Amino acid sequence: MINRLLSYGFVLASMSLSAYAGDVAEGQAKAGMCAGCHGANGIGLSDEFPNLAGQKAAYLVKQLRAFKSGDRQDPSMKAMSAALSDADMQNLAAYFASLSPLAVAEKTPVVASASDQASSLEFAESTFVSMKKSATMMSFPTQAVWKGGPNMLYNAITPDGRLVLSTSPSTNTVYVFDAKSGKQLAIVAVGKAPKGVKVTPDGQYAYISNQNSANISVLDLKRLSVVATIAVEAGPHNVRFTRSGQWAYVTLQGGAGLAVIDTVTRKMTQVIPIPGITGPHNIDLSADEQTAFVRDFVHHVAVLDLRTGQVKQVIKVGKGHGGIDVAPNGKFVATAAIGADFISVFDPKTFAVKNIQVGNGPHGIRASKDSRWIYVSITKDNALVVIDAESMTVVKKIAVQKFPFWIAVQGNP
């Protein structure tokens, strides 16, 4: 009897273990979609992203299933898990469980020392970089440092160059600075986990994407107070206005696609699905505003025809999320990849891609107003890289404060 019970217990234990016996190699092949937050080796890129290396496989499968079912809520993970089969979940869990929890971030060669100085040659217009971990803002070309708030994330500058704004998702606020002096003018409460912030072309309002409350806060920049809240679908992440200011396009990282907002009525009029990508993250528009280039959370850019609502092309770029920018002259599109050590630059007509090595963890990316330079924030190297857009080579690597995240350039919204 005892032998029979022991045998039964062994069978149950074996069944329990085999239930999560995924394929490590298959999981590794799939893990690129996780690298943008949790690192290629399962070590989170920053404090807000948990380490997955060495976690128990059963626990990881349980969490992925909970995100997919909605029992556990997070817009980004909802979108990521929606694309996973149960076998995918078990394979990913097996891979991350196989990794050492003592792993360290991989080191890759950098292309220039972070000791260069900024000059007005490369920074003809006012340029600002938000520093996530040091809770500061840096102004270029002066390299002045302003004290900000916790987790300075996305930033934006008004068209007249008077104000600079930055979101602070951990405090559910937006910080407003005087662009000349760096003085804090206001700290404005918005929705939950504000991410992208963009200013309307007339400079009167800022739209803030509240990722965890599924809405947009409309901030009056004269009164420095929220005057409206626009409901959208899950996970709004960033905004791009048309030049006329009539329309705003919002990436929905929860997976629904691209929200279209009428800025006159302040209502969402439609959602355009974007098949072929996971978690629409950042966006820019072509020069004629007929095409949206949408960067996802994994390693894709969707080329979306806004007239037909059809995806014309899906371009594979570096791992993880990042910014995307169409050069003001319309000649190239550049996108970063926080899980890689390079940016991707491609032709908006032929979609031919060129990768440029810049350093560890590029995220923010913006071209200068005249399209002569490309600026890239390198999150792991604590640097700002300047690329000559004519030769597509790195010409400067400037030391900045901790975890440079986003870049705002006057004249290139």
Q: What CATH code would you report for 2-98?
A: 1.10.760.10
Higher pLDDT, 4 or 270: 270
The DSSP line for 22-44 is: --HHHHHHHGGGGHHHH-TTS--
- Indicate whether 404 pLDDT > 70: yes
- Indicate whether 81 pLDDT > 80: no
Of residues 198, 189, 235, 237, the one with CA closest to residue 214: 235
**Cα gap 229→248, rounded to integer Å:** 14
Side-chain-facing half-sphere of 284: CA atoms under 13 Å:
21
Q: Identity (one letter) of the amino acid at 187?
A: I
Q: In the chain, what are the domain boundaries?
A: 2-98, 127-409
- Indicate whether 64 pLDDT > 80: no
Q: Identity (one letter) of the amino acid at 216?
A: I
Band (pLDDT 50/70/90 cuts) for residue 100 is confident
Q: What is the mean pLDDT of the chain?
A: 88
* Superfamily of structural domain 127-409: YVTN repeat-like/Quinoprotein amine dehydrogenase (2.130.10.10)
**Cα gap 137→181, rounded to integer Å:** 12
Higher pLDDT, 40 or 302: 302
**Cα gap 151→384, rounded to integer Å:** 18
**Cα gap 252→296, rounded to integer Å:** 10
pLDDT for the residue numbered 114: 67
What is the tens place of the pLDDT at every residue in 216-267? 999 999 999 999 999 999 999 999 999 999 999 999 999 999 999 999 999 9
Q: CA angle, corner 388, sides to 387 and 390, nearest 5? A: 140
Using the CB atoms, write b or e for 224-240: b if 16+ within 10 Å.
Answer: bebeeebebbbbbbbbb
pLDDT for the residue numbered 212: 95
User: The whole model's pTM is what?
Assistant: 0.85
- Indicate whether 54 pLDDT > 90: no
Cβ(135)–Cβ(152) below 8 Å:
yes
Residue carrying the six token digits 């560890």: 360
- Indicate whether 63 pLDDT > 80: no
What is the tens place of the pLDDT at every residue in 7-16? 444 444 444 4
pLDDT for the residue numbered 200: 98
Same fold, 2-98 and 127-409: no
- Indicate whether 59 pLDDT > 90: no
